[in-house]
Amino acid sequence: MKRLISPFISSIIILCFFYNNTFAQRDFSKVEIKTEQVAENIYMLMGSGGNIGVLVGEDGVFMIDSQFAPLSEKIAKAIGNLSDKPVKILFNTHWHGDHTGGNENFGKKDAMIVAHKNVKERLSTEQKRPFNRSTPAAPEVAQPVITFDKEMTFYLNGEDILIFHFHHGHTDGDAIVYFPKSNVIHMGDTYFKGRYPYIDLGSGGSVDGVLKTINEVIFLADDDTKIIPGHGSLSNKEELIEYRNVIMLIRDRVKKAIASGMTLEEIKTSNLTKEFDEEWGAGFIKPDRLMDIFYSDFSN
Ligand SMILES: [Zn+2]
């Protein structure tokens, strides 16, 4: 019987398993929202999905990203413990569902949604995804009502909140949110702390775009800057530099392997990332998937 399961079928089984575990309806009932203070008026909220940033103050709450819709009530409660003001602005660092899934719920409560123009473009149209998936357009109330292209600034709660789209990196709509007064930067998914990066080539991302974006943030940051990654715990410039160096090293190895004529399969079996896999490959992006992404980016 075992012999009847061909490699093709087993890869389908693996894909289905991956699909079910990653994208299907999850049980959010046990997810707790943890709040960590980052600066006097800035907090990071962790639950399931991308890390949320919150700036509180007299003018109202400025919120960065919204995780998944079933968590909105818990997130609103956690924010309610920090401020009695409503969420005035919900800013999205990019369009992915683990960062925008709660947009509809907060939009219905009159939060004004703001993001890069390509986030609006992707949230307002059906998006084709890998593994024959597709993401339908978000309802209008979940879409940005204000967009920016290169940069924009909010003046709220005594902070100048500087927003930058440096390059197409994780996606083509990435935003970096910089609070110079509090010395805090939210990087969205241009930073997966301590893990291999996910670069969504299908959404206009690129490895070099991520590297260039990280270099811009390293330039902005000093030794005391608190850096909120899209995923992972609160971080700093030193750890971001290490992240950049690992990505650069792997990029150079993959480019060299491609230049020497190696196929993707040969690259995968040659363990180019061996010394990093145990630690950096423990998250969402495993070594094989990383090679898929890097190879696809640099072989075209
Ligand atoms: Zn993402």
Distance of CA 97 from the midpoint of ligand 1 (Å): 8
Distance of CA 30 from the midpoint of ligand 1 (Å): 23
Distance of CA 263 from the midpoint of ligand 1 (Å): 28
What tens-digit pLDDT sequence spans the chain (300 residues)?
344 444 444 444 444 344 434 444 689 999 999 999 999 999 999 999 999 999 999 999 999 999 999 999 999 999 999 999 999 999 999 999 999 999 999 999 999 999 999 999 999 999 988 788 899 999 999 999 999 999 999 999 999 999 999 999 999 999 999 999 999 999 999 999 999 999 999 999 999 999 999 999 999 999 999 999 999 999 999 999 999 999 999 999 999 999 999 999 999 999 999 999 999 999 989 999 999 999 999 997
Distance of CA 48 from the midpoint of ligand 1 (Å): 13
Distance of CA 16 from the midpoint of ligand 1 (Å): 21
pLDDT score of 11: 44
Distance of CA 189 from the midpoint of ligand 1 (Å): 5
Q: Are 87 and 66 in contact (CB under 8 A)?
A: no
pTM of the model: 0.91
- 27: its two tokens: 């049980």
pLDDT score of 13: 41
Rounded Cα–Cα distance for residues 59 and 191 (Å): 29
pLDDT score of 25: 64
Distance of CA 96 from the midpoint of ligand 1 (Å): 5
Q: What is the DSSP letter of 182?
A: T
Distance of CA 100 from the midpoint of ligand 1 (Å): 10
- Quickly list DSSP for 19-83: HHHHTS----TT---EEEEEETTEEEEESSSSPEEEE-STT-EEEE----GGGHHHHHHHHHTT-
pLDDT score of 16: 39
Distance of CA 220 from the midpoint of ligand 1 (Å): 22
Distance of CA 138 from the midpoint of ligand 1 (Å): 16
- Angle subtended by helix axes 237-259 and 287-298, to nearest 10: 60
| Domains by residue range for the chain, with CATH | 19-237 (3.60.15.10)
Distance of CA 242 from the midpoint of ligand 1 (Å): 20
Distance of CA 170 from the midpoint of ligand 1 (Å): 7
Distance of CA 191 from the midpoint of ligand 1 (Å): 10
Rounded Cα–Cα distance for residues 116 and 167 (Å): 12
